[in-house]
Amino acid sequence: MSTPTTIADARTLLFVPGDRPDRFDKAAGSGADLVVVDLEDAVAPEHKDRARRAAAEWPGLGHRCVVRVNAPGTPWFEADLRMAAGLGCPVMVPKADDPAVLAEVSARCTPIPLIETALGAERAYEVCSVPGVVRAAFGNVDLAAQLGVAPDDTLALAYARSRLVLASAAAGISAPVDGVTTAVRDTGALTADTAHARRLGFAGKLCVHPAQIAPVAAGFAPAEGELRWARTVLGTGEAVTTVDGHMVDKPVLDRARGILARAPEGARPGARATGD
């Protein structure tokens, strides 16, 4: 089952259309940290009910899986939510811009608010502060459409992205998940988008194809140089000192610990041996 811890730590979240049950198991075996069964944008209105039934009948639904329900206010929202909640499955909530609605969802199952409207960006802190929310995600395509900009324009969407990163930190939840790279086969664009998101403070990314998983996972993993720096810093102890001419104090130590916490399992024992 997708627990809050799994949601908080996931780097790669792979969408799979809810009306394509033939792809569910493939998505689950893709190596993605979480599978997002999409009942919203990937499914035409006439197929919504069929997609919901397919999701409900999939044995893997409660295992490292999230359901993206249709947005609150749509004809399918309540049925989608009832199905997911009945199976104990977390939900990704589109157009999340009303904290009161999100609180009602949270009372029934774990929500991941998808910030993809201008109002959602303006209310990001209130949305992220709803009890039960452990992480939020960014919907670049929908927000770009509302703003009249391109979804891959990093400059146009930089403010909204940074606002979500700050809101998540202020609310005390995990760093958010960035939106999709729609150029499915463009590895260069994917790598650049991942690097940009990580630089802003995101810690995961929504994926639309299995081929995107490995580059995204690598992009959010600490580089070897970062790991060496973190081990060196933690090896100095707790006292204020300098490393390579830079001051080391508590915030720097905290950053080093965070880097090692994101390291692959195989890199952690050595870090602990030389660290704090």
Tens-digit pLDDT profile for the chain (276 aa)? 677 779 999 999 999 999 999 999 999 999 999 999 999 999 999 999 999 999 999 988 877 999 999 999 999 999 999 999 999 999 999 999 999 999 999 999 999 999 999 999 999 999 999 999 999 999 999 999 999 999 999 999 999 999 999 999 999 999 999 999 999 989 999 999 999 999 999 999 999 999 999 999 999 987 665 666 667 767 776 666 666 777 666 776 666 776 766 676 655 544 343 333
Q: 128 near 96, Cβ under 8 Å? A: no
DSSP 176: P
Whole-number pLDDT of residue 47: 98
Whole-number pLDDT of residue 96: 98
Q: Which residues pair with 178 in a beta bridge?
A: 205
The encoded tokens of residue 160 equal: 């909204």
Q: What is this structure's pTM?
A: 0.85
Whole-number pLDDT of residue 272: 40
Q: 89 near 61, Cβ under 8 Å? A: yes
Whole-number pLDDT of residue 244: 72
Strands, E assignment, the chain: 12-17, 34-38, 65-68, 91-93, 111-115, 137-138, 177-178, 204-207, 241-243, 246-248
Q: Kindly list the domain boundaries of the chain, sorted by start residue.
A: 4-220, 224-274
Whether domain 4-220 has CATH 3.40.50.2300? no
- Mutual angle of helices 158-171 and 187-200, in 10-degree steps: 50
Whole-number pLDDT of residue 66: 96
Whole-number pLDDT of residue 252: 65
